[in-house]
Structures are given as C-alpha cells and as structure tokens.
C-alpha cells in the first residue's frame, strides 16, 4: 500500500506479531484455569484484540466500549466521553482491558475507575503501545508491548483521520501531515 503521509516505519509487522505472541503467553499463564472477559476500547484496539485473542490459551469472551478523547485531532483534548457502554455485566468477572495505545492515560484512568466500581473479580490492562512521554495521569499497565516516542503514530488500529487502521505495521507520520491532521482553530 502506498502511504503518502508516511515518514518511516516504527514497528514492522513481524515485530508487532512477535510481541503480541509474548503478551498472549503472559496473559495465558497468569489466567490459567480462569475465563477472561476482554474489553476493547473502540475503534483502535480492535485489531490488537483480534490478534491477541487468537493467541490466548484460556477461554475468553469479548465486550466493547466506545469512548472519545481525540475526535479528529492529533492531540488529546483530555475530554473523555462515553459513546457506547458494555453489553454485559462484569461483576465477578476477570476483566482485561485491551488498548492499542496509552498516551495521556486519561482514557484508561476513566475506564479503570468506571469498571472498578462494577465489582469485577479482577481488572487489568493490556496495552500494545505506551507513549510514556505523553502521560498526564498515572495508570497501571500490567501487560505492555512497546514504549514508543511521543510522535504521531498510525497503523495497526491507529488512524489518521479514520484511515490506515488496517495497515499491518506501525508508522510515523510526516511532520507536515501531522500538522494537517490538526483541526483548524
Ligand atoms: C486512542 C486509544 C485510547 C486513547 C488513549 O483512542 O485507542 O483509547 O486514544 O489516549 P489517552 O491515553 O491520551 O487517553 P482514540 O480516542 O484515538 O479513538 P479511536 O481508537 O477510535 O481512534
């Protein structure tokens, strides 16, 4: 696929898939004998969740939440809005939140507080990408894939104006495209 806005590849497909396998092995080991409710945060986490789930060796069920923190901006607004809640109760369940990326931590902080109040048996986080330099609030990440630089990354679920989520690798945008992706003020 030709991607005109791409500066360079940050993580190629084989690096990502190897890490997904490592994360799945760790989760499978820790949850042996238990059933896990995977909760993906739409939309970006769908690709990671699909790959992770297929490598897990414990019984799993899926549920989804939609929250909005960015809109079409490339910077976090800090505003978390709930767009779609879970379909099922998580009371007494072992819940694993699956996130593609943790940046400011605001989305995850909100989700952890919300879901903890619903009395799950356990609540952990699996995030493929950790943009540590963007953090505004501290959040626990029990299973973490990669630490990445504080740059605008796209692919493997992450979008540029809703495009390129299907790209199997992770790439850094050209600076001029990053600027173009910001909303007009
Ligand atoms: C991304 C990502 C997380 C959130 C993390 O979603 O999937 O949910 O941002 O950012 P934070 O740590 O700064 O809160 P986004 O809002 O871009 O929605 P999308 O997955 O639908 O693209």
Cβ of 98 closer than 6 Å to ligand 1, yes or no, is: no
Q: What is the pLDDT of residues 69-110, one digit of tens each?
A: 655 454 555 567 889 999 999 999 999 999 999 999 999 999
- pLDDT (0 to 100) of residue 176: 83
Q: What is the pLDDT of residues 165-176, one digit of tens each?
A: 999 999 999 988
7 is annotated as an active-site residue = no
Which ligand 1 atom is the nearest neighbour of the CA of 165? 22
Q: Which residue numbers in the chain have pLDDT < 70?
A: 69-79, 180-185
Closest listed residue to residue 131, CA positions, set 112, 165, 108, 114: 108
Catalytic residue among 51, 63, 85, 103: 103
Closest listed residue to residue 175, CA positions, set 8, 1, 10: 8
- pLDDT (0 to 100) of residue 78: 58
For residue 130, with 0-12 CB atoms within 10 Å meaning exposed, 13-18 middle and 19 or more buried, which class applies?
A: buried
Q: Distance (Å, rounded) from C-alpha 171 to C-alpha 156?
A: 9
Percent of all residues in the chain with a pLDDT value above 90, rounded to a whole number: 83
Cβ of 105 closer than 6 Å to ligand 1, yes or no, is: yes
**Structural domains in the chain?**
12-148 (3.40.50.2020)
């Amino acid at each position: 696929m030709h991607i005109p806005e791409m500066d360079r590849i940050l993580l190629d497909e084989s690096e990502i898939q190897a890490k997904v396998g490592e994360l799945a092995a760790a989760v499978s080991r820790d949850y042996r004998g238990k059933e896990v409710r995977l909760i993906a945060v739409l939309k970006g986490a769908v690709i990671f969740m699909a790959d992770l789930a297929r490598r897990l060796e414990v019984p799993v069920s899926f549920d989804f939440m939609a929250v909005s923190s960015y809109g079409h901006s490339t910077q976090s607004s800090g505003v978390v809005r709930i767009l779609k809640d879970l379909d099922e109760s998580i009371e007494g369940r072992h819940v694993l939140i699956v996130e593609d990326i943790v940046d400011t931590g605001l989305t995850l902080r909100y989700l952890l507080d919300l879901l903890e109040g619903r009395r799950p048996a356990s609540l952990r986080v699996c995030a493929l990408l950790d943009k540590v330099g963007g953090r505004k609030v501290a959040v626990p990440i029990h299973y973490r894939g990669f630490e990445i630089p504080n740059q605008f990354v796209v692919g493997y679920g992450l979008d540029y104006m809703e495009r390129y989520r299907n790209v199997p690798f992770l790439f850094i945008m050209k600076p001029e495209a990053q600027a173009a992706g910001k909303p007009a003020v």
